């Protein structure tokens, strides 16, 4: 595992630990009004999701840094987490709040396991059970720097296609950590 991948995993774990303590899927969403996020499962069931956390952060390095977006959203039955990584940015560009409009892809068998990862969990009893993501994508179609909102769609296949889903999101706010 490369140093950048190790740094990314540590950052995600720290953000996850921080949000795990602060985020409860039953609490009101942290984000702005007039947003929506949906989940459609393979059986065509559709669910509205509540965003608990959406953070854009950076990890600088000697050769330029990367930007990371981590989003956590849930309802009473499902939880979806995005982990997106982009670029190697020179110092000045690393600290602006932009991300390119594009599709970020994750494939389990590929080296770059940090771009476009969507993780899904299903609630069983009192706990969420996370599925192993085989392939996923996050497409950002609109990124508003001034309002700090994003819109787009996502897709995932997990646990050898036993759990598949897709969804859309619109005007979901993000918090930028610099």
Residue range 105-142, pLDDT digits in tens: 999 887 555 589 999 999 999 999 999 999 999 999 99
* pLDDT value at 29 more than 70: no
The Cα angle at residue 16 between residues 132 and 71, in degrees rounded to 5: 75
The answer to whether 117 and 142 are in contact (CB under 8 A) is: no
Distances (CA, A) of 12 to 9, 62, 124, 133, 147: 5, 20, 24, 16, 24
pTM of the model: 0.80
């Amino acid at each position: 595992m490369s140093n950048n991948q190790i740094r990314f995993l540590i950052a995600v774990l720290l953000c996850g630990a921080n949000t795990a303590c602060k985020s409860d899927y039953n609490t009101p969403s942290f984000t702005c009004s007039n947003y929506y996020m949906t989940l459609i499962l393979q059986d065509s069931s559709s669910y509205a999701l509540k965003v608990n956390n959406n953070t854009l952060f950076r990890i600088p390095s000697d050769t330029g840094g990367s930007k990371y977006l981590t989003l956590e959203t849930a309802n009473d039955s499902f939880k979806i987490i995005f982990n997106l990584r982009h670029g190697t940015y020179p110092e000045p560009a690393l600290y602006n709040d932009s991300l390119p409009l594009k599709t970020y892809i994750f494939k389990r068998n590929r080296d770059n396991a940090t771009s476009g990862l969507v993780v899904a969990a299903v609630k069983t009893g009192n706990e969420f059970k996370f599925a192993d993501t085989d392939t996923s994508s996050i497409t950002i179609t609109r990124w508003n720097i001034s309002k700090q909102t994003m819109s787009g769609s996502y897709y995932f296949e997990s646990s050898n296609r036993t759990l598949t889903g897709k969804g859309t999101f619109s005007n979901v706010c993000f918090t930028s950590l610099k």
